[in-house]
Amino acid sequence: MRNGLRMRLPLLAIAVIAVVSFSLDSNGPGLASHGGGVVPLNDLGAGTYLGFPGGLYEGGSNAVPGGHAAEGAAHAAAVQPLDTSGNPSPGGKAVLLSVGMSNTNLEFCAPNSNQTCEPWTFMGQAAVDPDVNHSTLAIVNGAVAGADATRWDGSDEQSDLNYDRVRDTKLIPQGLSEAQVQVVWLKVANRLPTSSLPAQDSDAYALETSMGGIARALKTRYPNLQVVFVSSRIYGGWATTDVNPEPYAYESGFSVKWLIQAQIDQMRNGGAIVDSRAGDLNHNSVAPWLTWGPYLWADGLIPRSDGLFAPQQAVVDEDAGELVADRAVDERGGDGGVDAAGERADDAPVADLLPDAEDGVGDEVARGPVAAATADTQ
């Protein structure tokens, strides 16, 4: 049956344009020029950054490895409408929840004074998209200003209170429960980083550890959680504070890459932990299945191979000291608004956060950060 949860939301709908030439060996965090410092992970490929290989996945590739994709298809197929006790129900709901900081909040909803989402955000566009299931799919914004990675990792009372906030102020008022949360978009960072790669105490490694904790905390709070799409930071070169500037925003991409690779390697290793920084990520027990969501980082004014770039913007995220929305002109000469994720507002919505459970997650999610995808769940 090909109805139920259906979302058809292209990730990056900007036309492919020529890219300014780079050396595919990036030498480090010289990012103050707003372009030309380093190569985005999706374009780095077989090149390296400070000795760390590029690509969103192993081997310099942007494609989900086959075995991991097959495992993801099984988890995606398990997403279904549930009642508030977590039992399958045709009249139930499947909740897609955002988790993260102020930047995540703005990209996903940017609630205005009326507590409705701005039309350029993910939720704002999904609300009017005819391809989105508006009956059994519930999209909920759990992200909030000030909630960095440590506020979600389950390590202390503050983290527990943050999940309680989502339950009490976001889910319950809509007649929803934690048992119905099955898909999450996760985008987090750590505040005030001080150590960059390749240092062993770098924030990139600390963020990987925090996200490993978040994956387990999410599965604990949301026992029916199946899939988590993870995104790293947008370009931080326009930031006016030290909350999370460059090179830390760029290097957070490696944190996400390592996190997902840690799960892939663990499952290949019979469930035995391979990466101690990430910890236990067995998606058959203590964690959801992890994959990249949209990869949002572009090197300032230098377009990526898919056309995404990061102009100086006009809406200020006070918490992050970051500018998050404006208008831009791509190299085709077309003028269109760009939303907080860097997407053109006159194109289709920001991101597809559900894989296609029936057509095969391998075909769709493997192209995730640079292509469109659809989601169909019974």
- Tens-digit pLDDT profile for residues 94-133: 999 999 998 899 889 988 877 789 998 899 999 999 889 9
At 159, is the pLDDT very low, low, confident or very high (cuts 50, 70, 90)?
very high
* pLDDT tens digit sequence for 274-312: 999 999 999 999 999 999 999 999 998 889 999 988 877
If one compares 12 and 128, the residue with the highest pLDDT of the two is 128
Helices (H), ranges, the chain: 41-44, 66-77, 102-108, 122-126, 157-165, 203-221, 248-268, 361-365
Give the count of domains, the chain: 1
Does residue 61 carry a pLDDT above 90?
Answer: yes
In the prediction, which pLDDT does 254 show? 98
Percent of the chain with pLDDT over 90: 60
If one compares 145 and 113, the residue with the highest pLDDT of the two is 145
For the chain, what is the radius of gyration of the CA atoms? Answer: 19
Does residue 350 carry a pLDDT above 50?
Answer: no
What b/e readout covers 266-303, taking b as 16+ CB neighbours within 10 angstroms? Answer: bbeeeeeeebebbbbbbbeeebbbbbbbbbbbbbbbbb
Does residue 9 carry a pLDDT above 60?
Answer: no
If one compares 245 and 203, the residue with the highest pLDDT of the two is 203
CB atoms within 10 A of CB 305: 15
Q: Over range 323-339, report the average pLDDT.
A: 32
Q: Which of 277, 279, 265, 326 is nearest to 301 (CA)?
A: 326
Residue 72 neighbours by CB under 8 Å, 6+ apart: 64, 227, 289, 291, 355, 361, 362, 365
**What range does the domain containing 341 cover?**
5-377
Does residue 378 carry a pLDDT above 50?
Answer: no
Does residue 31 carry a pLDDT above 50?
Answer: no
